[in-house]
Amino acid sequence: MARLLTIEEALERILSHVRPAGAELVQTEESAGRVLAAPVVALTDLPPFPSSAMDGFAVRAAETPGAFPVAVRIAAGRPADRMLRPGEAMGIATGGALPDGADAVVPIERAVDRDDEVEIEEAASAGDNVRPRGGDVRAGDEVLPAGTRVSASQIGAIAAAGLAQVSCAIRPRAVVLTTGTELRPAGSTLGPGEIYESNGAMLAAVLRSAGALVERLDPVADDETSHRAALERGLRADVLVTTGGVSVGPHDLVRAIEAELGVEEVFWGVAVRPGKPLAFGVRDRTLVFGLPGNPVSSLVGAELFVRPAVLALQGATLVHSRWDRGTLVAPLRRNAARDELARARSRDGEAGVELVPVSGQESHMIVRAAGADALVLVPRGDGEVGAGTSVRYLRLA
């Protein structure tokens, strides 16, 4: 086998084959998790008018302190029908429109309200407790750039800027196919040599959380006919993710049948542990991932490579998983040839995040891995990475 690609090299090759799909209009309300296909531009100044930041009294700052007749009481959504004349004050609620003539709001707590008169004991300054028009954003300015993945705060901004709909990337269609004669669905009774199929639901969850629409096919046994039919079907999607059958054994059929079906293999094998025998290829616009069957290998491969590809298909600006830094609490042995992603649990320490490797780092140990919330990068090399070392880690969603 040729030199294995590093994680970065493999990801670069995958992303170079991504052809982003088109866009569609999405109700703002439904846009969480979607990627903006065009910038969102404000339809109005925000705030649209100078407004009060407090419940209080609108005044001319230069006239304070003093006692003022209360001319009008302004509620949010009910502006005054005239300007503030010299010598008077107006009651005003938070969010109420500041009347013309006023330049400050004195909070209720700093005023003595006597129904038709208010006494203000301290001098106010112009601008006090006033939210200027356009202070957050101006009409026509960009609220969010294209490529943004919409989160809760961003939905708020889109709605505040007046947009009922936004242009979003079409969600990629993904098919998940698990392979292995030994696999049985959870809920059934296991026969001799059988195990519960667990990668399918896990990979579907990764894909959905990256924005894909997921179809699951029934697991296929390790025979050519069932592989062929299922793979042919999966190749109609934007992304086909298989697990198992991608190694070197006599029952590993995925790559050979995919080649028959016209998939061009871009690479096979990445210098990562777990997850080395990972295959990536393309047929037309379809990205084809062959993940290993061991559940932890499959999870790591999906987090490192499939998630970024699905985000890239949607034109997301941030597709690379974010590597954070933390301190390793117990030593981890290095692998001479491959970068390792060790499963660890993170905790808050005195000097930042501490990472405690979980016991049971083998690639079939999905239950042990489920106790982890971080994948710690152990760079290939000799010896070990000692306790107290600063390491990079990927937070598991």
Does position 199 interact with ligand AMP (CB under 6 A)? The reply is yes
The Cα–Cα gap between 365 and 294 comes to: 8
Nearest C-alpha neighbor of 178 from the set 191, 157, 156, 195: 195
Does position 197 interact with ligand AMP (CB under 6 A)? The reply is yes
Burial of 88 (0-12, 13-18, 19+ CB in 10 A): buried
CB of 151 vs ligand AMP, minimal distance in Å = 31
Nearer to Mg ion by Cβ, of 244 and 315: the residue is 244
| Cβ contacts of 30 within 8 Å, gap of 6 or more | none
Of 49-57, 150-158, 194-202, 325-333, which part binds ligand AMP (CB under 6 A)? Answer: 194-202
Contact criterion met (CB below 8 Å) for 284 and 264: no
Q: Which of residues 363-382 bind ligand AMP (CB under 6 A)?
A: 364
- DSSP at 303: I
Nearer to ligand AMP by Cβ, of 98 and 271: the residue is 271
Instruction: Give SS3 for 393.
Output: strand
Q: 45 is in the binding site of which of Mg ion, ligand AMP, none (Cβ under 5 to 8 A by kind)? A: none
Q: Which of 28, 64, 148, 198 binds ligand AMP (CB under 6 A)?
A: 198
Q: 315 is in the binding site of which of ligand AMP, Mg ion, none (Cβ under 5 to 8 A by kind)? A: none
CB of 155 vs ligand AMP, minimal distance in Å = 35
CB of 256 vs ligand AMP, minimal distance in Å = 14
Nearest C-alpha neighbor of 313 from the set 29, 25, 23, 32: 23
Nearer to ligand AMP by Cβ, of 364 and 395: the residue is 364
How many residues touch ligand AMP (CB under 6 A)?
A: 18
Q: Which of residues 160-179 bind ligand AMP (CB under 6 A)?
A: 178
Q: Which of 245, 281, 315, 357 binds ligand AMP (CB under 6 A)?
A: 245
| Cβ contacts of 291 within 8 Å, gap of 6 or more | 199, 203, 241, 242, 243, 246, 275, 278, 297, 298, 301, 302, 306
Does position 290 interact with Mg ion (CB under 5 A)? The reply is no
Nearer to ligand AMP by Cβ, of 64 and 198: the residue is 198
Of 107-115, 196-204, 207-215, 281-289, which part binds ligand AMP (CB under 6 A)? Answer: 196-204
Nearest C-alpha neighbor of 4 from the set 380, 391, 388: 380
Instruction: Give SS3 for 168.
Output: strand
Does position 242 interact with ligand AMP (CB under 6 A)? The reply is no
Instruction: Output the DSSP codes for 212-241.
Output: -EEEEPPPB-SSHHHHHHHHHHHTTSSEEE
Q: 129 is in the binding site of which of ligand AMP, Mg ion, none (Cβ under 5 to 8 A by kind)? A: none
Where does residue 185 fall: left (phi above 0), alpha (psi -120 to 50 degrees), or beta otherwise? Answer: beta
Q: Which of 97, 143, 183, 287 binds ligand AMP (CB under 6 A)?
A: 183
Q: Which of 244, 281, 308, 326 binds Mg ion (CB under 5 A)?
A: 244
The Cα–Cα gap between 71 and 341 comes to: 69
Q: Which of residues 165-194 bind Mg ion (CB under 5 A)?
A: 180
Determine the longest span between alpha carbons in the chain, in angstroms.
Answer: 94
Q: Extract the tokens encoding 25.
A: 């209009």
Q: Which of 274, 292, 308, 357 binds ligand AMP (CB under 6 A)?
A: 292
Does position 129 interact with ligand AMP (CB under 6 A)? The reply is no
Tokens 């230069």 belong to 62
CB of 143 vs Mg ion, minimal distance in Å = 49
Site for Mg ion, rule CB under 5 A: 180, 244-245, 293
Binding site for ligand AMP (CB under 6 A): 178, 180, 182-183, 195, 197-200, 243-245, 247, 292-295, 364
